[in-house]
Amino acid sequence: MHVHVDGARIFSGIAELKVDPSEVLKECSSATFCLSKGLCAPVGSIIVGDSDFIARVKINRKIMGGHMRKAGVVANTGLIALKKMRF
């Protein structure tokens, strides 16, 4: 069975529990999380899963019109949040 976690505020929970994100998500097939809730990035969300799942997500995103041009600045703020913020 595939298990998906909608982790919009997962980093707030992880900070409270004082555990590593991989510990919380170890039994999950996929997860989404928001970079602005608990990590202080201005915008952005991430979806994670195995390579087959991500390939399907990319196709479905394009079918539904999801695309962002010049996302480098936004992506960079997300990378800094993931690397530097304490949780």
Domains in the chain: boundaries: 4-84
User: What order of strands is seen across the sheet that includes strand 4-7?
Assistant: 4-7, 30-34, 45-49
pLDDT at 68: 67
Per-residue confidence band for 55, with pLDDT thresholds at 50, 70 and 90: very high
Predicted confidence (pLDDT) at residue 69 exceeds the cutoff of 70: no
Whether residue 53 contacts residue 30, with contact meaning beta carbons closer than 8 Å, is answered with yes
pLDDT at 11: 83
Per-residue confidence band for 34, with pLDDT thresholds at 50, 70 and 90: confident
DSSP state of 73: H
pTM of full prediction above 0.85: no
Per-residue confidence band for 35, with pLDDT thresholds at 50, 70 and 90: confident
**Alpha-carbon span 22 to 31, nearest angstrom:** 11
If one counts every other C-beta atom within 10 angstroms of the C-beta of residue 38, the result is: 21
**Alpha-carbon span 3 to 15, nearest angstrom:** 22
pLDDT at 20: 86
